[in-house]
Each structure stands twice: as C-alpha cells, then as structure tokens.
Structure 1
Amino acid sequence: MEQLLQVGVITQTHGIRGEVKVFPTTDDPARFERLRKVTLDTGRESLELEIEKVRFSKQFVIVKFKGLDDINQVERYKRCPLLVRREDAVPLEEDEYYIADMIGIRVETEDGEAFGTLKDVIETGANDVYVVETSSHGEVLIPAIKECILEVDIEAGRMVVHLLDGLL
C-alpha cells in the first residue's frame, strides 16, 4: 500500500508572493485548512513543505507555503503533486477505499473467474466508475454501486464484481 496519498496538484502560480493554485484530488477540499504539512513530489525529489495560508477560489485551493515568498521560488512546481502521509489522510468510512490502494487490484466475477485489473477510477457526481482492463473485452466501465461491486479486499488485492446486463 502507498504510504503517501495525493491530495492535490499544483496547476499554476497565483500572484507574485509565492502562492500556488492547487487542483484538489481529494473528496474534501476543505481538508487543506486542517493540513499543516504536505510533501511536494518534483519527480526528482520530495520536499516537505509547511502550509502557511489556505483560501479557496472556485474549484481551486490557493496555498501559500512557509518560506516560499516569491513567484520565482514556486514557478518550477507547476504540475507537481501534493501528498500527505497515510496517517494524516482523512479517515475512511465503511466501504470506502483510497483510490491509490485500489489501482492494480485484480477483478474477478462472482463465479470466481479472473476478469481483469482495475486500471482507473472515474469520479462522477452520482457514483464512481471503475475502469477495468480485460484481455477479452478491452476496457470495461463498471459503476461503483452495491449491485455491481460485491466485495473489495485491499489486503488480498481482489475485487469481486457482478456484471449487469449491458456492461459488456
């Protein structure tokens, strides 16, 4: 399981005083107000940054990091993900899972037959949709509803699905 979970991606700078515009990749963007530190993944290194100030603008979160007070200091971090340690992540409710833990698990039908591998999760307004890569049907989209998702076992790396008529 991943020890760092993504909560957002820096999209661009905001103003000239070191603020950045972050696209939240968490279910609860307000969680940024409670965060004290995040890890910035530059692709080459990971930097632990302390959050100084947070505010909201439309669907974005405007973040100011302590010690980064100039646009030139944050310009290079565009498109970099912001991560939190698993223990600092929002606690999960029953039947909720971190997407990072789900990607790559094997998907089986209710008959115990191998069906494919979970490739992606599409977040929609009503319910999530699981993108399953199969060898016989290509990509199959399965709605994340109780009628279709019968079991998820993250530790075993397995999901059991019921394929409703019309999904294939």
Structure 2
Amino acid sequence: MKVEVGKFVNTHGVKGEIKIKSNSDFTDTRFQPGEIVTIEREDQQPIEFTIASHRVHKGFHLVTFEGVNNINDIEYLKGETLLQERDHEEIELGEHEYFYSDIIGCTVFDDEGTPIGRVINIMETGANDVWIVKGEKEYLIPYIADVVKDVDVEGRSITITPMEGLLD
C-alpha cells in the first residue's frame, strides 16, 4: 500500500533539487538515498524516482533524484504528491506510536462518545505531535497521554479527554 509522504512545492536551484513539504512520519528513513518515491498522475503511468540526496532547509526537505540533474527535467511535476510504499522493515513502531496514515482520517470522539471531527493533518512541534481535527471548527489536539485516551486504528476512531479550553 502506498502512502503520501509529501508534496513537491517548488524547485531549489537549477540542478534539479526539489523542495518537499512533508506530511509523513519517519522522514529520515523515507527520504534517505536509495529510497523510491512514486508520482501518480491522472490518466498516465506512475513515475518512479530513486532518491539521490536529502537535506533539510528552512523546514522543507530538499531532495534530488538519480538521473535528474537539471531543473527542466523535474519542474513540470511541481505541485504533485509523492507516494511511497508504506512498509519499511527498518521502521519498528513502539507502544503508542502510529504511522501518520493510520491517524489521518480517523474520527475523534470525546470521552462521552460525541464526535468532534476527523484528523486532517499532523504537525510536528518537537515536544509532541499535534493533530489537526476538522469538525464544526478546526481543533488542535496535542498527542499526549493526558488528552488522547484510546486509538483504534482498525476502527478508525480516537477517544480523547479534552483539557479545559481545548474545544472552545
């Protein structure tokens, strides 16, 4: 199964380096040289690229692909989504760790069973992840033990105990 690992937002320089806004977990593993990413375009064959280099600059992932040495060879794909096979043997999840693709799309409920909304994105803040939940409004739910009580990946549901002011 392929998962979305980022969006090609712009080029960087003239030698084919691209700027990726990641919406993925484990970016050090996913963007390391030798990994393969795929771009699937409507009504066209998927295009596969092998990562040649990776670095982080100003919050973006800068990547080059093998065989791409010129901005003109890659610029036409600006705005496309990069996909990658989900399973990575070297990624072992610990207890209470999840792939972003397992969390995004889950319905969030409060501890009384009232639906709050769906997780639409995840922000990495350093201390903990923050789940962006879209319901009547947009809520920022910190992924901490005091708030997130249960994650049911198969049932696509998350139960939280909101802190005071969290849902206001």
* TM-score, normalised relative to structure 2: 0.77
Of stretches 91-100 and 56-65 in structure 1, the one that deviates more from structure 2 is: 56-65
Where does residue 20 of structure 2 map in the other structure? Answer: 22
1:146 Cα deviation from its structure 2 partner: 0.6
SS in 1 for 2:133: strand
1:30 Cα deviation from its structure 2 partner: 2.9
| Uncovered stretches (5+) of structure 1, i.e. residues with no partner | none
> Does the 8 Å CA contact 1:54/1:61 hold for their aligned counterparts?
no
| Uncovered stretches (5+) of structure 2, i.e. residues with no partner | none
Report how many aligned residue pairs link the two structures.
163
Where does residue 5 of structure 1 map in the other structure? Answer: 3
**1:129 equivalent in alignment to 2:119:** no
> Does the 8 Å CA contact 2:33/2:53 hold for their aligned counterparts?
no
| 1:38-117 superposed matches below 5 A | 38-42=37-41, 45=44, 46-51=46-51, 53-56=52-55, 58-59=57-58, 60-88=60-88, 90-117=91-118
1:16 Cα deviation from its structure 2 partner: 3.6
Q: Report sequence identity in percent.
A: 33
Structure (1 or 2) with the larger CA radius of gyration: 1
Where does residue 164 of structure 1 map in the other structure? Answer: 163
Q: 1:91 to 1:41 in 2, by over 3 A?
A: farther
**One-letter amino acid matched to 1:66:** E
Q: Deviations over 1:66-124 (max 9, x none)?
A: 33343222110112222210113843222122222222222222233333333333332
1:154 Cα deviation from its structure 2 partner: 0.8
- Indicate the RMSD between aligned Cα atoms, in angstroms: 2.6
Post-superposition, which runs of at least 4 consecutive aligned residues in structure 1 deviate over 6 A? none
* TM-score, normalised relative to structure 1: 0.77
> Does the 8 Å CA contact 2:25/2:100 hold for their aligned counterparts?
no
> Does the 8 Å CA contact 1:42/1:77 hold for their aligned counterparts?
no
Where does residue 37 of structure 1 map in the other structure? Answer: 36
Q: Deviations over 1:11-65 (max 9, x none)?
A: 33344443323344444443222543111244554311223x2042524444332
**One-letter amino acid matched to 1:76:** Y
**One-letter amino acid matched to 1:6:** E
SS in 1 for 2:87: helix
Q: Partners of 2:11 and 2:160 in 1: how far apart?
A: 43
